[in-house]
Amino acid sequence: MSTELLSSQPDSDTELLTGAEIFIRCLVEERVSTVFGYPGGAVLHIYDELHKQREVDHILVRHEQGATHAAEGYAKSTGKVGVALVTSGPGATNAVTGIADAYMDSVPIVVFTGQVRTALIGNDAFQEVDTVGITRPCVKHNILVKTVEEMPLAIRRAFHIASTGRPGPVVVDLPKDVTEQKMPFAYPENPHLRSYQPTTVGHAGQIKRAIKLLEKAERPIIYSGGGVISSNAHEELTEFTRLTGFPITNTLMGLGAFPGTDPQFVQMLGMHGSYEANMAMHHSDTLIAVGARFDDRITGNLEKFCPYAKVIHIDIDPSSISKNFPVHVPVVGDAKHVLRAMIDDLKQRERALPDISAWWDQIHEWAKKDSFAYKQEMDADIKPQYVLDALYRLTEGEAFVTSDVGQHQMWVAQLYKFNKPRRWINSGGLGTMGFGLPAAMGVQLAHPDSLVCCVTGEASIQMCIQELSTCRQYGLPIKVINLNNRYMGMVRQWQDFFYDSRYAMSYMEALPDFVKLAESYGHVGVKVEQAKDVEPTLKEVLAMKDRLVFVDVVTDPRENVFPMIAPGAAHNEMILS
């Protein structure tokens, strides 16, 4: 990287700034208003500069994992790049889980890690780790900045790479001496990346071929994923779906890209997807995959996946196409552009698409199974689904909902109908317990006036519970709904199915009193133990608009998530109850 790449050369007599000052200026240039971070020796120059200015807010988390998840929550709910700042060594290693999480779910974040002085690199210096080496397999890109002259271009590139193409995390490693070296500041307009040019516009010939397949479809289904949300293509997806009249299913990551209450929506698919969605996938003759990656939790047994379908796959990442499952018509491009082109093409056609009413009749028949149904007796244990149903009704489907990982996550996905994108914030690819609360902080900071709920379990919440302190410091009025079944429910469920109910280590003993715990952090805590109290309590909780409320709901410890496709099974081999 040479300085001559800088498009705007500074005058020789301009003021000299330190690397730390330049760092702040770069953030301002990238319109970063919020940074989630935690200080330490290697980043103290930067913290000193943060202290002196007002343009960038710094949110002090309580663990660096929280900083990266908060940055993810911020990014997922806004579409903007989330930013985290941590120190070298343990600061960087603590951040790795969030970086890997962002990598798996294609979340645009930039993580700045402090590093020991350049002269000490490789000497096993105090708090030195090879951050670039450790994070290499779980970043979209990473950069070690070796001189201050390299810093502006490195940061320009980091934001560009994180936010374009298939988004993802970028790590920028900043040795301490780089943040004290001086130079005149100029921010490059162009990231100058000759080797990085994501394809956005779909190939016209491939789009034509895709349309040809649609014209012959008798049993079509649209299967859309998180990529549609990343590319802000929800309007195009909705228009395309309405125009074709085809049924549509969303992945866990794609919920909200198409209105969850629309009659064309056949619910989520995959391991815990609806009966109708999975059966329709299995029997379809034409599959239109958009921004989805044929993950194993979606496909089940690949050998038996969609055996009758011709497959169209629209994705911005060529390596996603035919990675797990061979497709017939690949279209590399941004979902927004490609869907727009397909809509335009369809509208110009005289010939209507084939009548698929027989297919819809079949789907409606499958839907009668009502596979997400549950029964709540008012004098029995509280069903977790009942709580989420109530939450959905009381919030009118308008809340931002984050979740942790486990049964509760699947129940939110099944029961909370998201009509808008970027409202459902969860960890899909990595499945990171501990994600929910810090992610909710990022969402709440980005949307200070909106209702943000974190649905969690008593096991997951304890993985980042320290962030309750951050929530207190910044007055974040998140509503934490803890579905407390005294089990690592999802683990217990697998033990029920595959290990003759031997509950090895999946019970939660010695649980804290969550109400007192919340109170000791300065929040409101409430406990719900009876079904009849669920709705009235939630109503009161939601009315406490300016407080974080921790709602500990004691739920049925035996409830399992259905339907379920066991690993190795096919879509038409669901366990229904």
Ligand X SMILES: Cc1ncc(C[n+]2csc(CCOP(=O)(O)OP(=O)(O)O)c2C)c(N)n1
Binding site for ligand X (CB under 6 A): 404-408, 431-433, 457-460, 483, 485, 487-491
Q: Pick the binder of other proteins from 6, 116, 161, 433 (CB under 8 A).
A: 161
Contact 24, 49 (CB under 8 A): yes
Q: Which two tokens stand for residue 17?
A: 């700034």
Residue among 49, 64, 150, 559 flagged as catalytic: 64
The smaller minimum CB distance to ligand X, of residues 305 and 374, is found at: 374
Of other proteins, ligand X, none, which one does residue 407 interact with (CB within 5 to 8 Å by kind)? ligand X
Contact 491, 434 (CB under 8 A): no
Catalytic site includes residue 305: no
Sorted by sequence, the CB contacts under 8 Å of residue 520 that are 6+ apart come out as: none
The smaller minimum CB distance to other proteins, of residues 76 and 140, is found at: 140
Instruction: Give the C-alpha separation, 118 to 181, whole Å.
Output: 12
Give the Å distances, CA to CA, from 100 to 109, 135, 239, 412, 491. 11, 8, 34, 23, 22
Of other proteins, ligand X, none, which one does residue 136 interact with (CB within 5 to 8 Å by kind)? other proteins
Smallest gap from Cβ 495 to ligand X, in A, equals: 11
Instruction: Give the C-alpha separation, 241 to 237, whole Å.
Output: 6
The smaller minimum CB distance to ligand X, of residues 26 and 388, is found at: 388
The smaller minimum CB distance to ligand X, of residues 96 and 214, is found at: 96
Amino acid (one-letter) located at 54:
R
Of other proteins, ligand X, none, which one does residue 322 interact with (CB within 5 to 8 Å by kind)? other proteins
Contact 101, 402 (CB under 8 A): no
**Which of these ranges, 90-98, 139-147, 277-285, 379-387, lies near other proteins under the rule CB under 8 A?**
139-147
Contact 86, 92 (CB under 8 A): yes
Contact 273, 265 (CB under 8 A): no
The smaller minimum CB distance to ligand X, of residues 113 and 460, is found at: 460
Catalytic site includes residue 490: yes
Smallest gap from Cβ 568 to other proteins, in A, equals: 21
Catalytic site includes residue 535: no
Near other proteins in 296-355, by CB under 8 A: 317-319, 322-323
Residue among 1, 29, 127, 473 flagged as catalytic: 127
Using DSSP's 3-state secondary structure scheme, residue 457 falls into strand
Give the dihedral sign, CA 123/124/128/131: positive
- Interface with other proteins includes 140 (CB under 8 A)? yes
The smaller minimum CB distance to other proteins, of residues 80 and 140, is found at: 140
Instruction: Give the C-alpha separation, 479 to 59, whole Å.
Output: 19
- Interface with other proteins includes 144 (CB under 8 A)? yes
| Other C-beta atoms lying within 10 Å of the C-beta of residue 195 | 4
DSSP-H helix ranges across 165-222: 204-216
- Interface with other proteins includes 523 (CB under 8 A)? no
Catalytic site includes residue 176: yes
Residue among 76, 80, 140, 176 flagged as catalytic: 176
**Which of these ranges, 60-68, 193-201, 202-210, 237-245, lies near other proteins under the rule CB under 8 A?**
193-201
Catalytic site includes residue 127: yes
Of other proteins, ligand X, none, which one does residue 137 interact with (CB within 5 to 8 Å by kind)? other proteins
| 3-state SS record for 368-401 | CCCCCCCCCCCCCCECHHHHHHHHHHHHCCCCEE
Contact 402, 373 (CB under 8 A): no
- Interface with other proteins includes 162 (CB under 8 A)? no
Query: Any idea which residues carry the catalytic annotation?
Result: 64, 126-127, 176, 490
